[in-house]
Amino acid sequence: MLKKFTEGLVFGAGFAISFIILWYLAAYTLYPMYIDSKFEKAADKHLSSIRPNTQPSISQSPELTIKQFYELGIEEQIKKSSVIALAKYEPGPDGKMQAIIKEFLKKDSDVIIYYNIGDEYQSASYYPKDNTSYGDGLIIFFTGSPATMQMSMTYSGDRIRGLGDLPMDLFRKKCS
């Protein structure tokens, strides 16, 4: 009987210790989230009482959302771009297809860009795979100064795929 009592006591102690450990782990992970959210709400309330006439943030106001570059229409993308480069794929010595910048379709005069005509645009270079079409080259949109790449799209022949097969000549006219 004493043995059964001892086994029950050990089982109960083990159960209690496991429960305490689980409770501690849950409190350790959940409590900081609760504190942080309460702190953020309190800070927001405090800031709004200090500056009651401030404009709402973008996340609070749907009419103030900012469109991403890729969401803009082509005319607006061209307008916002400081540099638009045309690169053509050429085979490299190791079998890699290198994206070589052939011309700048648009380049603002005061923009700093770290590429020149004839440079490889390494981000777009690739090793070809079977049954995969990469196009003949790509159009690269840069914004700001120094110029930062925002978007690129491939072209095949004289058509730009990402612009609904827009003819290259028409795109050149839009850029000038």
Per-residue pLDDT tens over the stretch 27-77: 667 666 665 555 566 555 555 555 555 555 545 555 556 788 888 888 888
This prediction has a pTM of 0.60
Torsion of CA 10, 14, 20, 26, to 10 degrees: -170
Q: Is the pLDDT of residue 125 over 70?
A: yes
In whole angstroms, what is the distance from residue 99 CA to residue 30 CA?
50
Question: In terms of pLDDT, which residue wins out, 51 or 173?
Answer: 173
88 vs 55, residue with greater confidence: 88
Q: Distance between CA atoms of 59 and 168, rounded to whole angstroms?
A: 38
Average pLDDT over residues 83-100: 92
**21-35, 68-82, 107-121: which has the minimum mean pLDDT?**
21-35
pLDDT at 74: 86
- pLDDT: is 73 or 119 the higher one? 119
CB-based contact 83:147 (threshold 8 Å): yes
Region 155-169: what's the mean pLDDT? Answer: 88
Find the mean pLDDT for residues 13-27.
78
Rounded Cα distance between 157 and 80, Å, is 26
| pLDDT, mean over the chain | 81
The CATH topology of domain 73-175 is OB fold (Dihydrolipoamide Acetyltransferase, E2P) (2.40.50)
User: Smallest Cα–Cα separation from 143: which of 171, 168, 111?
Assistant: 111
Question: How far apart are alpha carbons 60 and 55 in whole angstroms?
Answer: 10
More confident site: 45 or 112: 112
Window from 57-71, 76-90, 141-155 with minimum mean pLDDT: 57-71
